[in-house]
Structures are given as structure tokens and as C-alpha cells.
Amino acid sequence: DIQMTQSPSTLSASVGDRVTITCRASQSISSWLAWYQQKPGKAPKLLIYDGVILESGVPSRFSGSRFGTEFTLTISSLQPDDFASYYCHQYNSEPWTFGQGTRVEIK
Amino acid sequence: EVQLVESGGGLVTPGGSLRLSCAASGFSFNLFDMHWVRQAPGKGLEWVSSISRTSTYIYYADSVRGRFTISRDNAENSLSLQMNSLRAEDTALYYCVRDGRTVSVAGGNWFDPWGQGTLVTVSS
């Protein structure tokens, strides 16, 4: 099984900060990775797929990148609406696996 | 508008059974693989099971294999999850999720969209 190691588990930041969340795959997954945002009491929402492609309607302050088996979700300027939990998800091979999640809190 | 509406959750005693359903609308259901993903209270996301568009390929997480059965009815635009021999650790919000696209370049695709979930509580 492919393990997805996501860090940090919690992140405290202020509005306007640049925020970076990392997911490392235990083996190669090419670019087959998605990022989701989840707010309390809500279903996850797709932000990025295929590692770097921004889902339609998602603000351009969100971006994804890949370097080998390390993937990064970056929020260029954190907005009040961005305080939420974020998860990565590999779909290279079954069983599909998620990172443990990152909770972005207000500093 | 794409909609996924789960139902069938509830309180069940350990060893009991429950059947979850998902009603899909707003898209060509028979063209997409479908999935169940769960989230225990206060925890992260865990993939549970997947079924291909024609039910040819079915996958389960190790944690549920042999106890859960996924199925679909393309004529009714519905997805189901039969859960038997339930355990306390199966307590979670269960999401019905559509595959991100109708073709697979990788082993699979991203998950989008997600339903709002149905809560399953296993407790005596």
C-alpha cells in the first residue's frame, strides 16, 4: 500500500500569510494526487487534481506542485475562508489513500 | 447540478448490519466509477470501497473486506453499501463519492463531488 505522509498536522497562520502543506508518498505516484479542503460539518471539496491542476472555481491563491514523491499545496495569501482542514489523496494505485490531514488555524 | 444524497445511517449494535444508499442525479451515473469514503468522528478520511461503472471491478479496504459489499443499480442511479458484522471502529460519517472523470489514465481518479454523508454509529 502507498502511504501518504502529510505535514504539518496543525498549522497556525494569520490572514495574508503564505502557507505550505506537504504530502510525501512512500513510492512513486507520478502526478496522481489530489488536494481537498474540508470545513467543519461539511464534505470535502476538491481543490487540485493531477498534482498541479486547479479545479474550476477554486481561487488562484491555491496552487499545487510536485518534486518527485513530494507534493505541496500552497496558499499564497491566506484568507479568512481558508481556515479549514486539508487532505491529500493518491489515486495512482488501489488502495486509494489519504494523508492524515492538516488543520489550518487562526494565529 | 450534480447531487449525491446518502441515506440509511443510524445506530446499530456491534455485530449488526446496516445498508447505506446513495441517490445520484444531475449526471450520467452509468459513466462513472463510484466510491464510499468514511470519516470517524474527529479523524481523517479513509477510503472504504469502489465499484466500476459496470460493476466489473470492485475494491475494498482491508478493514472492511469480507464484511461490506458495494453494489450499484445504473437503471436507478443508485449506489449501495451493505455493512455486516459491524464493529465499534466502523463508527463514522460515510460519504458517497463520484469519480473525478469518466476515463482513468492512472489507476484511478480524484474524488469529486462528495455527498453530505450519512452517520453510522456502532454501539451497545
Distance (Å) from the C-alpha of residue B13 to the closest C-alpha of chain A?
Answer: 25
Q: What is the pLDDT of residue B108?
A: 87
Q: What is the mean pLDDT of residues A7-36?
A: 97
pLDDT higher than threshold 90 for residue B105: no
Q: What is the pLDDT of residue B95?
A: 98
pLDDT higher than threshold 80 for residue A46: yes
Q: Do B44 and A87 touch (CB under 8 A)?
A: yes
CA distances from A69 to A2, A32, B109 (A): 11, 10, 18
Three-state SS annotation for B23-89: EEECCCHHHCCEEEEEECCCCCEEEEEEECCCCCCEEECCCCCCCEEEEEECCCCEEEEEECCCCHH
For A100, the closest chain B residue by CA position comes to: B44
Burial of B23 (0-12, 13-18, 19+ CB in 10 A): middle
3-state secondary structure of A103: strand
Q: Looking at beta carbons, which residues of chain A come within 8 Å of B115?
A: 43
Q: Do B111 and A34 touch (CB under 8 A)?
A: yes
Q: What angle is formed at CA A34 by the lines to CA B22 and CA B121, rounded to 5 degrees? A: 40
Question: What confidence category does residue B106 fall into, taking pLDDT thresholds of 50, 70 and 90?
Answer: confident
Please list the residues that pair with B3 across neighbouring strands: B25
Q: What is the pLDDT of residue B103?
A: 81
- Average pLDDT taken over every residue of chain B: 96
Determine which of A28, A91, A98 to mutate to test the interface with B (most B C-beta atoms within 10 Å).
A91
Q: Read off φ and ψ for residue B88, nearest 5 degrees.
A: -55, -35
Q: Return the percentage of chain A with pLDDT > 90, whole number.
A: 98
For A31, the closest chain B residue by CA position comes to: B106
The pairing of beta strand A70-75 with beta strand A97-98: unpaired
3-state secondary structure of A104: strand
Residue B29 burial (CB count, 10 A): 22
Q: Looking at beta carbons, which residues of chain B come within 8 Å of A55?
A: 112
Q: Do B107 and A91 touch (CB under 8 A)?
A: yes
Contact predicate B51/B70, CB 8 Å? yes
Query: Is the N-terminal amide bond of A8 cis, ω within 30° of 0?
Result: yes
3-state secondary structure of A74: strand
Q: What is the pLDDT of residues B16-75, one digit of tens each?
A: 999 999 999 999 999 999 999 999 999 999 999 999 999 999 999 999 999 999 999 999
Q: Looking at beta carbons, which residues of chain B come within 8 Å of A50?
A: 110
**Which of B106, B108, B112 minimises the CB distance to A30?**
B106
Distance (Å) from the C-alpha of residue A27 to the closest C-alpha of chain B?
Answer: 14
Q: What is the pLDDT of residue A104?
A: 98
**Which of B95, B108, B116 minimises the CB distance to A96?**
B108
3-state secondary structure of A19: strand
3-state secondary structure of A81: helix
For B58, the closest chain A residue by CA position comes to: A94
Which grid cell sits at B40?
470517524
Which 8-state DSSP code applies to residue B106?
Answer: S
Spatial distance between the Cα atoms of A68 and A11, rounded to a whole number of angstroms: 24
Provide the residue type at A98 as one letter: F
Q: What is the pLDDT of residue A49?
A: 97
Q: What is the pLDDT of residue B111?
A: 97
Which grid cell sits at B77?
442511479
Q: What is the pLDDT of residues A78-95, one digit of tens each?
A: 999 999 999 999 999 999
